[in-house]
Structure 1
Amino acid sequence: MYVIVIGCGKIGYHLTRALLASGNEVVVIERDAHRAETATEEFGSIVVASDGTEPTVLSEAGAKRCDVLISTTGQDATNLVACQVAKWSFDVARVIAVVTDPDHVPLFKTLGVDVAVSTTELILSH
């Protein structure tokens, strides 16, 4: 499976490690230069230091052949935009977003995000 991960903070980092360990082909897009450099030291050339909401960046990352895009930044707006661009501009079959504010989950689903994962709801459900 070909997966694009937007954001390489704690969630994106561990998700990328797990995806690679499972044999998936992964590209990571990280806007923060320092974080991208750290991720490159770990993952090598699969890391793109750029803005994952930009269509040209997603195109260069292979969004047209992407099976799943997962946006893991700490910013709900960024995650929503990245998922929408992937879904509507590149016809990515499955887009998944981490959602910080659980009140945003219905909006994400209404606007085409296939899976909106609220970290708050996950914690409260256990």
Structure 2
Amino acid sequence: MHIVIMGCGRVGSTLARILEKRGHTVAVIDVNTDAFRRLGPDFTGQTVKGVGFDREVLLESGIKDADAFAAVSSGDNSNIIAARVVRETFEVHNVVARIYDPGRAEVYERLGIPTVATVRWTADQVMRRLLPAGSEPQWRDPSGSVRLMEVHVHQGWVGSRVDRIEQAAQTRIPFIFRIGTGMVPKDSTVFQDGDLLYVAVENDRLAAVEAILSAPPAPE
């Protein structure tokens, strides 16, 4: 895939490096050429000076062949304008814009521009750490009966195999977040200190699952 990123701040540069490591071609747009230093010496993608809603700048970045576009500059207006130009003029459908104002984010979502509201997202992530029990789900199915949750796990479970945890909680563990990377566990995977554990659970069993995993395991 060819992906164009507008904004070479910490978010944009991190995205660019990750995407390139995964084998995608990447073009990064920024008005400040000094910002490209954040990409590091190993970055082999394209860098383009300019604003991400300028037609010539977008053409230089290869937008006609792009499969996706991310607008992650520091300006809400610039991000939204660029996202709309790319979607409506160049017909790139996989577009996302970072927005600092949650109110604006909701408006643009209704206009069909997927957004990440930075303040809302950050607040939600902090809440998950402060109030691990009963926090907002990562995902809900359309019927609202099943959710994917990050759950608090008691230190006593460290060293336990995933199949033991699943059996005790009577729920499935679709993935674990470990040292900055997601992984799909096997039955034999051992839960380690620092792991973030995600469970797929029916709504009516959520309280029971949280109660089991927030307490130490029963002696075998």
Whether TM-score is above 0.5 comes out as yes
- Contact (CA 8 Å) 1:40, 1:47: kept in 2 or not? no
Is there any run of 5+ residues in structure 2 with no aligned partner, and where? 126-220
- 1:7 aligned partner: 7
- Which string of whole-angstrom CA distances, capped at 9 and with x for unpartnered residues, describes residues 77-96 of structure 1? 00001101100110002110
- Counterparts of 1:45 and 1:100, CA distance in 2: 27
Matched ranges for 1:56-95 at <5 A: 56-95=56-95
Report the residue type matching 2:9 in the other structure: G
- Contact (CA 8 Å) 2:49, 2:57: kept in 1 or not? no
- Counterparts of 1:62 and 1:110, CA distance in 2: 28
- Which string of whole-angstrom CA distances, capped at 9 and with x for unpartnered residues, describes residues 58-104 of structure 1? 11211111111001101000000110110011000211011111111
- Contact (CA 8 Å) 1:87, 1:112: kept in 2 or not? no
Q: Larger C-alpha radius of gyration, 1 or 2?
A: 2
- Which string of whole-angstrom CA distances, capped at 9 and with x for unpartnered residues, describes residues 104-125 of structure 1? 1122223331x20011111222
1:4 alignment partner, SS class: strand
- 2:201 aligned partner: none
2:74 alignment partner, SS class: coil
Matched ranges for 1:8-27 at <5 A: 8-27=8-27
Report the residue type matching 2:12 in the other structure: G
- Contact (CA 8 Å) 1:84, 1:111: kept in 2 or not? no
Is there any run of 5+ residues in structure 1 with no aligned partner, and where? none
* Identical-residue share of aligned pairs (%): 28
TM-score (norm 1): 0.89
Q: Does 1:118 align with 2:117?
A: yes
Q: 1:48 to 1:83 in 2, by over 3 A?
A: same
Q: Per-residue deviation at 1:21?
A: 1.0
Q: 1:34 to 1:40 in 2, by over 3 A?
A: same
Q: Which segments of structure 1 move beyond 6 Å, counting only runs of 4 or more? A: none
The structure richer in helix per residue is 1
- Counterparts of 1:96 and 1:79, CA distance in 2: 9
- Counterparts of 1:17 and 1:70, CA distance in 2: 14
- Counterparts of 1:93 and 1:74, CA distance in 2: 22
- Contact (CA 8 Å) 1:64, 1:90: kept in 2 or not? yes
TM-score (norm 2): 0.53
- Counterparts of 2:68 and 2:45, CA distance in 1: 19
- Which string of whole-angstrom CA distances, capped at 9 and with x for unpartnered residues, describes residues 31-84 of structure 1? 113213x25763356111111110111112111111110011010000001101
